[in-house]
A and B are shown apart, each in its own frame.
Chain A
Amino acid sequence: MELILSILVGVLFAAALYSMLRRSIVRLAIGLTLLSHAANLLIFTVSGVSRTDTPIVPEGREAPLIGSSDPVPQALILTAIVISFGVLAFLLVLVKRVYQAVGSDDSDDLTSTER
């Protein structure tokens, strides 16, 4: 399972980079979306995939049972998903506004800041 996920993470990173290196800024947005997925999946994979129990503390105990899965990576990923959702929503609006202002989605036309 880890092997498959590792390959998938690699493919996602590669696809994200390929998309971002295209000239269209819409593809840039798609690439950045894939990039955040790749990072999230990387956290999931690297912290160990297991078939163990959910880490819920049973009644009358102070800590989850030994052998239950680690809740921290899931908390990290959940936080990261929420953040990337907000940022990507902003990015989409930005791409739209740039398209309206520049009249093109070619990143080679974004040159007015270089003088």
Chain B
Amino acid sequence: MTVQLTAPIILPFLAAALAMLAWRWVAVQRWLGVAGAIAQLVAGIVLLVTTRSQGVVATQVGDWPAPFGITLVADLLSATMVVITGLLGLVVVVYSFGGLDNRRESFGYYPLLLILLTGIAGAFLTGDLFNLFVWFEVMLIASFVLLTLGGERAQLEGAIKYVTVNLVSSALFLSAVGIIYGLTGTLNMADLSERLRDLDEPVLETTVAMLLLVVFGIKAAIFPLFFWLPASYHTPPVVVSAIFAGLLTKVGVYALIRTFTLLFVDDVEFTHGILLAIAGLTMVVGAVGAVTQQDLRRMFSFLVISAVGYIVMGLGLFTGVAIGAALFYLFQDAIAKTALFLVCGLVRWVGGSFRLEQLGGLYRTDPLLAGLFLIPALSLAGIPPMSGFVAKIGLVDAGIAGGQYLVVGLALLASVITLLAVAVAWAEAFWKAAPEGARVELEEYRARSRGERMSMFVPVIVLIAMVVGLGLGAQPVLELALDAGAQLMEPHAYLDAVLGADR
């Protein structure tokens, strides 16, 4: 069991170390990047198959029994997220072959990306609150450097905002961890779950719950803590934006889901009521923000925020079906958002800009690209048969079943606004006549070899095929998400796996 749980963390880390040794040989780094991501993907799939057949699996690092040592634990949610991490990592590495300038490639891009993947997988697999903090920091420091790699002015300015907000969130996280330890004397999440249930300190418990809501809310970019995201996510090259948009906020959402299903379930009316209110505001504010943007990447940054709202809505409804639907949303949105940012990169290569007023007429020159853009964009708005439709209908259904008509109304409203935003973007970039003096096709792009162009198009096409596939053939993944949701609502399997059944 130990190997299966540690492999998704160790293998990309090993590849990162080797890639650093191969500092001067960018070609070697590229293939180590591919190898590391594939290794993580395969390890993730093995783990998912294991958790599907055996239920929750756990291992105690260094053989220190829980709750004293650090526990690694995988349930269906963790295992699926690891698979998605490996998949998106692989896609982004391959896209970087052609999509990233050589200067950035030769300054440690691949090792950093692999360390980011390591940190993300660690955060998904750990069963210890302090260890989660450590994985967050591993992930953050890699993301700080990826964000600033290249050192353009906008990148540095975006990085100041991103770094500051994340450090504040880390300090609050540490404070919350300290208070929890003072309250219960444990940091193992399974052990905490039991001790918090017996703890008779409702005020302090709610205080800690709200502290962690703020901490993970900042990482997940929920209302009103999202302002850093559209100020920073669009500044680095699209490959970096794509992996950030697909995975980093999702780690925050994962942590929210984990803590508010496992730890803080004593006062559901209060805590999950707050989550529901936040979810409604996040969905609408994200979508409205997207409509007003002229830069494609900023528009999709706002749509990242909106999507977080939908996932938190499922958590706030707090039924097995609602959380299952939210998890399906989480899985498919990670893929769709990464695909969209990568498509934005292609739009810039062939259209010369990210800004809508400088783009136009691309439908005539690149009908394939117009289609590639439209599919994930419509999926975000929840148009059938794409995966976003299945996810949204699941959430709306769960909302109606729970009698939360207001938040359902907001979800539908946000969908309509999202549709407006992406339709305007598509019409502006592809349909309208090219503006006077538009630069079409960057010099650099023309200089790319056929293989390098393929390395950009193929990953995007794979992801978009998955967006459509998850919509048309949703059943197996939906079942997986519903099982994962049921597992989260009934944590005894998780507790048994970590603490032993004979406790």
Please list the residues of chain A having a beta carbon within 8 angstroms of any beta carbon in chain B.
20, 25, 28, 32, 35-36, 38-40, 42-44, 46-48, 72-73, 76, 79-80, 83-84, 86-87, 90-91, 94-95, 97-98, 101-102, 107, 110-115
Q: Across the interface, name the chain A residue whose C-beta is closest to B355.
A: A115
> With A43-B181, A46-B178, A76-B177 known to touch, is A83 a contact of B137 (CB < 8 Å)?
yes
* Cβ contact within 8 Å between A112 and B153: yes
Q: How far is the CA of A110 from the CA of B157 in the complex (A)?
A: 6
> With A38-B171, A113-B154 known to touch, is A47 a contact of B141 (CB < 8 Å)?
no
> With A76-B177, A113-B235 known to touch, is A25 a contact of B160 (CB < 8 Å)?
yes
Tell me if B164 is interfacial: C-beta within 8 Å of chain A.
yes
* Cβ contact within 8 Å between A102 and B157: yes
Chain B residues with CB under 8 A of A98: 156-157, 159-160
User: Taking each of B133, B137, B140, which has the highest tally of chain A beta carbons within 10 Å of its own beta carbon?
Assistant: B137
* Cβ contact within 8 Å between A114 and B148: no
> With A20-B164, A46-B182, A101-B156 known to touch, is A40 a contact of B137 (CB < 8 Å)?
no
Q: Please, could you name 10 A-B residue pairs with CB atoms under 8 Å apart, sorted by A?
A: A32-B167, A35-B167, A36-B167, A36-B174, A39-B172, A42-B178, A76-B130, A80-B133, A87-B137, A113-B157
Name B138-184 residues within 8 Å CB distance of A: 140-141, 144-145, 148, 151, 153-154, 156-161, 163-164, 167-168, 170-172, 174-175, 177-179, 181-182
- Report the 9 A-B pairs with minimum CB-CB distance, sorted nearest first: A43-B178, A46-B182, A39-B174, A110-B157, A39-B171, A35-B171, A101-B153, A98-B156, A113-B158
Q: How far is the CA of A79 from the CA of B173 in the complex (A)?
A: 14
Tell me if B277 is interfacial: C-beta within 8 Å of chain A.
no
Chain A residues with CB under 8 A of B178: 39, 42-44, 46-47, 73, 76
* Cβ contact within 8 Å between B157 and A72: no
* Cβ contact within 8 Å between B171 and A94: no
Chain B residues with CB under 8 A of A83: 134, 137
Q: How far is the CA of A107 from the CA of B158 in the complex (A)?
A: 11
Tell me if B232 is interfacial: C-beta within 8 Å of chain A.
yes
* Cβ contact within 8 Å between B175 and A94: no
Chain B residues with CB under 8 A of A72: 181, 187
Tell me if B441 is interfacial: C-beta within 8 Å of chain A.
no
| Chain B interface bracket (under 10, 10 to 19, 20 to 34, 35 or more) | 35 or more
Tell me if B496 is interfacial: C-beta within 8 Å of chain A.
no
Tell me if B46 is interfacial: C-beta within 8 Å of chain A.
no
* Cβ contact within 8 Å between B171 and A112: no
User: Taking each of B134, B187, B294, which has the highest tally of chain A beta carbons within 10 Å of its own beta carbon?
Assistant: B134
Q: Please pick, from B141, B158, B174, the residue contacting A90 in the complex, using a CB distance under 8 A.
A: B141
Q: Please pick, from A38, A43, A44, A97, the residue contacting B177 in the complex, using a CB distance under 8 A.
A: A43
Q: Please pick, from B140, B151, B172, B232, the residue contacting A87 in the complex, using a CB distance under 8 A.
A: B140
* Cβ contact within 8 Å between B181 and A47: yes
Chain B residues with CB under 8 A of A95: 160
Tell me if B268 is interfacial: C-beta within 8 Å of chain A.
no
Tell me if B483 is interfacial: C-beta within 8 Å of chain A.
no
Tell me if B295 is interfacial: C-beta within 8 Å of chain A.
yes
Q: How far is the CA of A102 from the CA of B158 in the complex (A)?
A: 12
Tell me if B231 is interfacial: C-beta within 8 Å of chain A.
yes
Since A39-B171, A42-B178, A76-B130 are in contact, a sample of 5 more A-B pairs with Cβ atoms closer than 8 Å, ordered by chain A residue number, is: A25-B160, A39-B172, A94-B160, A112-B153, A113-B157
Chain A residues with CB under 8 A of B172: 39
Q: Across the interface, name the chain B residue whose C-beta is closest to A46.
A: B182
Q: Across the interface, name the chain A residue whose C-beta is closest to B294.
A: A115
* Cβ contact within 8 Å between B175 and A39: yes
User: Taking each of B145, B181, B295, which has the highest tally of chain A beta carbons within 10 Å of its own beta carbon?
Assistant: B181
Chain B residues with CB under 8 A of A84: 170
Name B290-306 residues within 8 Å CB distance of A: 294-295
Q: Across the interface, name the chain B residue whose C-beta is closest to A97.
A: B156
Chain A residues with CB under 8 A of B133: 80
* Cβ contact within 8 Å between A48 and B161: no
* Cβ contact within 8 Å between A40 and B151: no
Chain A residues with CB under 8 A of B167: 32, 35-36, 87, 91
- CB B54 to nearest CB in A, in angstroms, measures 31
